[in-house]
Structure 1
């Protein structure tokens, strides 16, 4: 009949045979806390609750099931979770257990299989039978015990699910992990547990449906028996009643069945609200009896279950007063309130529908007043009997159907393929890593060079000197690889680049003070270490090699270096001449270079400035000048003492020495001031220790005449070694 069809349609909404699934919802279910937690519990806890590691010199390896040992946990204190326990096996069935450098507990020795009991709890270390029960005494191991919910949180952060395409109901499940086997095990277990969850859910819905129907059957069975007795008694006492042709019970029955539908839903609604208020686990509450509102309430219950699970996880580490726990409580309370509001709203709608039906039934009941009293009374009794009987039969059919469904529950999830071990890591991509590495290296290198140049306040090259001062550049001195023990480079290595740069300076020097035959040359700098003595020795020698008579005087009376470089006594020198204790000829030393004589500083006097300004100094130079074409005065740094300034009063040429990448650009201010004051004659700058790529032909070789390129011969001996080094560094260098 039509009434039975409506009852069937109503109870079809309780049905455990769901229609097409919402894949977006299923994806969230797959990644949910409850499903992942169920999956983790189904995996081997020995390798999920505990992580095993081997420490190498450069790399720590996550061993997973390849660990040579396993840990059997008995009980652990909360502060033992996520702590590293270090093991060193001795190869004889024993091991030493330590707790890290930050823990003062001394290491302890145990036998494999012994029960370890300490402040952290109770556990045993066993050999892994799958690894042949062997451990490497040379390898340090450690393990970390996890709180039960820690692996759940880690797997949830790494699991993913997505649709194959919009036209199919196929889902792909992924998991990223440093250990491929662990990811594979997790995904395959997740598929199984998700499938079982669906079957368990169907079975649970079927059981709840049967319980609900049984309660209704108990009530309806008594009602059918009661009205059967009333009809039988009515017929005995009042006789057979013939109903009025224009009035049938079908009209009453239709409305009665529709009212029954609403009352069944209201009953299911009350049951659902009762379970929520009793604090029943949201994951096992069934919403299948709520008709079209099933999905609406089931999604809210799923969210409630997520929040309750998260709160349990927080309580494992914190008290109920913890701010995070309180925040979780507030979210749960808000969601429960929203659920209650939705339930009340749905209840109001059902009750309004029931009132509408009651009004219609009331209209039919008023129309009965026109029917003879006996007939009217019989119609009322028969109507109630029909409603009870039809409901009872329908409930019996549905119970039988639900029982069959419970016994024959099958999953509506089909695993097309289980996860397999990947052939290569998905991350990081080697090619991408190489590209990024090269890009980062280049970026850092360029940035370093840029910042270094921005912060570098030293002199870079001769061009920079020209731009920042009007004093002419006499030349540049090439970088000498090693001058220890042989400062006289122009004589020891006459074909070297250094010697050639001094030849260029010699040529330029001859153009200064051309009107003077016997030239006094002062060599100075701003600070020590800029190469004054080295320059003075070699420029003097290069002039002597041209046939000039040259005298080099060590006028640095505060920190003399000339005697050490030339290998002559330190106790005799110009100081004795200036104080009248020796003659000039007594303190002049010949050198290996013909035409080059040296007068060292001698003993350090207490009054060097006074000696340099004395009449004795003037007389000495006047005495020496006729005997020499050039007299070089190696003076102390002008930026530290005034001795060089005093000596410039006697000079014909003043050479100011700068050193590449050592002298500050600010030193040029001193040169400019001396030049502007016009107190110095024929002033020139020499840039010392210049790397080959830092100067051009303008200074290194620009003024040389007729020297050829013979100095390259000494450098060429290094070329085969250089090429070999380049080939080792860069394979394609040639």
Structure 2
């Protein structure tokens, strides 16, 4: 209840500050305490259900050490590293691309041979049950058994179960709806248009009813893609360690997957490392196959010629010529083989399709260290590119880097091969000249000895080549048997190394409690922010500089005269406080108090009557005037007639004595509003109203004016000019701040 002395000053408002009023915030929260309690309960309950029914999540990981033990510490490898500009980081990135390749991951999935994915329902959550499936499922090759569509299994008894499907599959580019629910028997094939399989319980079937299960047939391509998205790879910046990890709710399944992926990766690496040796071995085998036949034929020809001509040994001159020719032919054969290799290698360079035909130079007796290292390097790069190309696009940084490295090796090989071909061709020409000169000496010998020398020379040459190839074959087989992959598994994926990812249950409960309090708290503050009603005395103090005479408690009594019926109630004490404050506000000979409100329902008439009563109880002659002639209420409150009242007096129809009514309350009189006139505002503006107040001042100590709401009509504004003190009634939760 605010007061304003009638000194014709406007009702100025004061500026609101932006500081947070903690007292106000606390009041707002406590006023809606039941919201907070409900939010706290829901928050803790939600957190508890989350902890109970959310499956545990773990990080499954494995780590690999990338080494290069096959190279060792030698000048050749140091030279190659410097020449190729290779780096540990680039090597690790290449290995990561291997591990991320679709081909490698699909091979791991294929090796594991997973057929189905089973889950069990826990209240509303479906949890995976890898290797704990209660059924054995046997697929029939005759059924379609589409992958990816959930199949729900509900055990009904020891012999029967309910099977239902409701989903879509894509067949021949069209979406096909599958929906059915049937009863099937354990151990008997379940067949329909789409499925054909047999379900058999693993354990006692009497324990199964009451549980819910579902499974789906696995699409290996989709599962591979899923793992490619889930598995994360990383490598140490200062080390040569590769780490693989995956977040899992079925850790055993993903442990098996990561370990199988590493096994396939190591096998592929070993194949890549020994690919050149294997191709060399195939090349030697193909050469041995042809030379073996030539050797047998030469041996038979040599034996038959000696027997037929009865020649056992050559003459000393013949032996010397034969040795020289054999030596020249052996060198020439070796040189020609090397020359053919150089030319073939020159044609293969830059041709990816011919990459699989690269053979190590050492197989044909080429001992050039640089050439051997470059060819081995090129073979390894082509093998890496072949694997990487399965999963990487042409603009993939690793593939671009690999192509650049291949082109560098090709360029270096081209430069080396030009010199090698020229030098080898020169050596062949020199051997041809020597061969011609010695062959001329052979022509001077007897014909029979010439034939024997040629036959024996051909046999021994073929035999030496055959022996050389056998020796190289044995060396390659030993090399393959001793080959080990240059990757070491530091820590395989295993249960002991699982990293829990779930938050602490206590922490989740605390978060739930915090959110349970925060959300309703924010809602309360948001509602208050949007609410234009006055709820606290501070709201009034921020909006106006007018003094507040007092606060009246809320009344639950049916009677509106609470100070009369409950003189000792707290609400009555609040009116006594207001009465005391009014005595300090009113100056000498000031008696007229006007009560106003902005809108109906703010308690203006209730406060006017009780204020008048509390004045009368203090032995002060008090009169209350019902100026609200549009909606009269005073007569009903005091059970008085409204046939004559203020409207009659202002219209000149009655005297002041005729309209003045004494109530049952001592010292309290009432002037009712009277019959509702057509023009209340005009009547109040007549001099008669001022004249009435002057008459009443002579008779009463206090005059209380109960006005109409100022927002609806101007009646209250007119009477305020006649009041010594105007009181505004503001009701918490009803009165608006912007009024």
Name the SS for the 1:521 alignment partner: strand
> Quick one: distance in 1 between partners of 2:497 and 2:641?
79
> Quick one: distance in 1 between partners of 2:672 and 2:152?
69
2:195 to 122, 127, 130: 122
Q: 1:606-630: CA deviations, max 9, x gaps?
A: 5544554567766765665555433
Corresponding residue number in structure 1 for 2:422: 356
Corresponding residue number in structure 2 for 1:485: 558
Corresponding residue number in structure 2 for 1:524: 596
> Quick one: distance in 1 between partners of 2:458 and 2:640?
139
Output aligned runs, 1:501-512, within 5 Å: 501-512=574-585
Q: CA deviation at 1:483?
A: 3.4
Change (3 A) 1:42 1:637: farther
Corresponding residue number in structure 2 for 1:426: 501
**Bigger RCO (CA 8 Å, 6+ sep):** 2
Change (3 A) 1:201 1:541: farther
Q: CA deviation at 1:200?
A: 6.8
> Quick one: distance in 1 between partners of 2:640 and 2:123?
60
Q: 1:142-184: CA deviations, max 9, x gaps?
A: 65666432322222333345679967x7765432112334333
> Quick one: distance in 1 between partners of 2:671 and 2:208?
77
> Quick one: distance in 1 between partners of 2:461 and 2:223?
56
Q: Is the 8 A contact 1:273 1:340 kept in 2?
A: no
Q: CA deviation at 1:304?
A: 0.7
> Quick one: distance in 1 between partners of 2:374 and 2:384?
15
Name the SS for the 2:121 alignment partner: strand
Q: 1:213-241: CA deviations, max 9, x gaps?
A: 32233455567679989999999899444
Name the SS for the 1:473 alignment partner: coil
> Quick one: distance in 1 between partners of 2:254 and 2:548?
74
Name the SS for the 1:174 alignment partner: strand
Q: CA deviation at 1:70?
A: 8.2
Change (3 A) 1:404 1:362: closer
Output aligned runs, 1:529-548, within 5 Å: 529-548=601-620
Corresponding residue number in structure 2 for 1:183: 254
Gap regions ≥5 residues in structure 1: 1-8, 14-19, 278-286, 308-327, 668-734
Name the SS for the 2:584 alignment partner: coil
> Quick one: distance in 2 between partners of 1:444 and 1:560?
46
Q: Does 1:630 align with 2:702?
A: yes
2:549 to 461, 475, 486: 475
Corresponding residue number in structure 2 for 1:99: 166
> Quick one: distance in 1 between partners of 2:667 and 2:145?
87
1:29 to 98, 119, 123: 98
Q: Is the 8 A contact 1:74 1:123 kept in 2?
A: yes
Q: Is the 8 A contact 1:67 1:131 kept in 2?
A: no
TM-score by length of 1: 0.62
> Quick one: distance in 2 between partners of 1:68 and 1:493?
77
Corresponding residue number in structure 1 for 2:719: 647
Q: 1:261-303: CA deviations, max 9, x gaps?
A: 64675698799615889xxxxxxxxx99951223322221121
> Quick one: distance in 2 between partners of 1:588 and 1:128?
97
Name the SS for the 1:99 alignment partner: strand
Corresponding residue number in structure 1 for 2:588: 515
Q: 1:689-723: CA deviations, max 9, x gaps?
A: xxxxxxxxxxxxxxxxxxxxxxxxxxxxxxxxxxx
> Quick one: distance in 2 between partners of 1:634 and 1:625?
16
Q: Is the 8 A contact 1:609 1:643 kept in 2?
A: yes
Corresponding residue number in structure 1 for 2:182: 110
Q: Is the 8 A contact 1:96 1:107 kept in 2?
A: no
> How many pairs align?
607
Q: Is the 8 A contact 1:46 1:72 kept in 2?
A: no
> Quick one: distance in 2 between partners of 1:26 and 1:190?
13
> Quick one: distance in 1 between partners of 2:412 and 2:699?
123
1:273 to 338, 345, 353: 353
Q: CA deviation at 1:110?
A: 0.8
> Quick one: distance in 2 between partners of 1:509 and 1:108?
84
1:151 to 214, 223, 227: 223
Change (3 A) 1:244 1:497: same
Q: CA deviation at 1:420?
A: 0.8
Q: Is the 8 A contact 2:656 2:692 kept in 1?
A: no
Tell me how large the CA RMSD over aligned residues is. Answer: 6.1
Q: CA deviation at 1:524?
A: 1.8
